Amino acid sequence: MRPAWARAGLALLASRVVVWIAALVGGHGAISSPFDHWDALHLLAIARHGYPPHDDQQWSFFPLYPLLARSLWTGVAISIVSFWVALVAIDMIATSELGPEVGARAVWIAAFFPASLFLTAYYTEGLFLALSAGAVLAARRDRPAIAALLGLGAAATRSVGIALAPALLLLVTRRSIRARLLAASGPLLGLGAVLGYAYLRAGDALAPIHAERVWGRLFHGPFAAALPAARDALQAIIGASHPDWAFEPGWLRFTQFCFLLVAAGVVVWTLRRLPLGYGAYLVLALALPLSTFWPQHPLMSFVRFLAVLFPVYVCLGTVRRRAGQLAILSLEGGLLIVLSWNFGAGLWVS
């Protein structure tokens, strides 16, 4: 069997060929079409000009990625390398918890996940996945200081990084409470640093939270997005039309709901089969988008949010039958082509 870094490299190369060809065709051959649409434009603006000195929608994007990615192509390079590192970390986590065969399958499932196109675009997803998976791997290998540092970076990259704090507290193998608290402190310090910078720059420590209102994301209750999402999926099946669906069409709403069902199954499996920290991370990470959402678009970007939660790939990697593996990869590959083509064309896909 190939070493983890080689398996990750091969899966990355194969999947990026699919992504880039589909996106280039959708973008009529524009070289940047696989990389710089939608949120990438906000991240590029932050990288080039910094955050505005007042409350603004750009504060919803956390600073570590644009701080490192000062131009489009440096950002893309960071995303590609980060995704490769993330695949290696996923392989190692799955191998240590469930065996090398699961690790090898998890890598390919992660590489071809439909929203993996964002992991190598000018987006924060690739960097976050590498940092979050790396933090958990460090915790499982009894390296609490490294786990804390990587957790800090994850929380400074995406708001969901705060969900790592209880996971790291539970997953550090050393029984010492001091080691556990050290690991868990990283995400808390990362979020604190972001809020502190927001206070110094904009005079409002909660600017990143207030910015979510501009995007229509308000708190509606724990996991409250599930019911309106089910309604939208049913309407999509029966062919109903809705004025809000021009932006996010019915087929995409139905797809997002299917992934919500997958996420629910993964949570149940993870709580039953893996140490508690993994399940705690999934539940908290999913609670954020499913509790705070835009009512007209309850699952907007859900597939993309799911793409950065590495336990999903560990769970799907446990499918042993070849027919099941082929079914998963075929469905993933087909959706990856569709989403990449649409992303390259500048259409909203997640």
The pLDDT, as a whole number, for residue 289 is 96
In the structure encoding, which two tokens stand for residue 70, read together?
A: 């000062």
Q: Which amino acid is at 214?
A: V
DSSP letters spanning 217-252? -EE-STTTTHHHHHHHHHHHHTT---GGGGTS-HHH
Strand positions, DSSP E, 200-338: 218-219, 292-293
Rounded Cα distance between 167 and 277, Å, is: 4
The pLDDT, as a whole number, for residue 325 is 94
Q: Which amino acid is at 246?
A: A
Rounded Cα distance between 103 and 168, Å, is: 21
For 132, phi and psi rounded to 5 degrees? -70, -45
Distances, alpha carbon 106 to alpha carbons 93, 214, 255, 319, 336, in Å: 10, 36, 21, 10, 16
Give the position of tokens 């019911």: 227
The pLDDT, as a whole number, for residue 242 is 65
The pLDDT, as a whole number, for residue 100 is 95
Which helix (H) or strand (E) segment holds residue 26: the answer is helix 4-26
Rounded Cα distance between 5 and 291, Å, is: 37
Rounded Cα distance between 336 and 111, Å, is: 10
The pLDDT, as a whole number, for residue 335 is 97
Q: pLDDT tens digits, the chain, 350 residues: what are they? A: 789 999 999 999 999 999 999 999 999 999 999 999 999 999 999 999 999 998 889 999 999 999 999 999 999 999 999 999 999 999 999 999 999 999 999 999 999 999 999 999 999 999 999 999 999 999 999 999 999 999 999 999 999 999 999 999 999 988 899 999 999 999 999 999 999 999 999 999 999 999 998 888 999 999 999 999 999 999 988 877 666 666 788 899 999 999 999 999 999 999 999 999 999 999 999 999 999 999 999 999 999 999 999 999 999 999 999 999 999 999 999 999 999 999 999 999 98
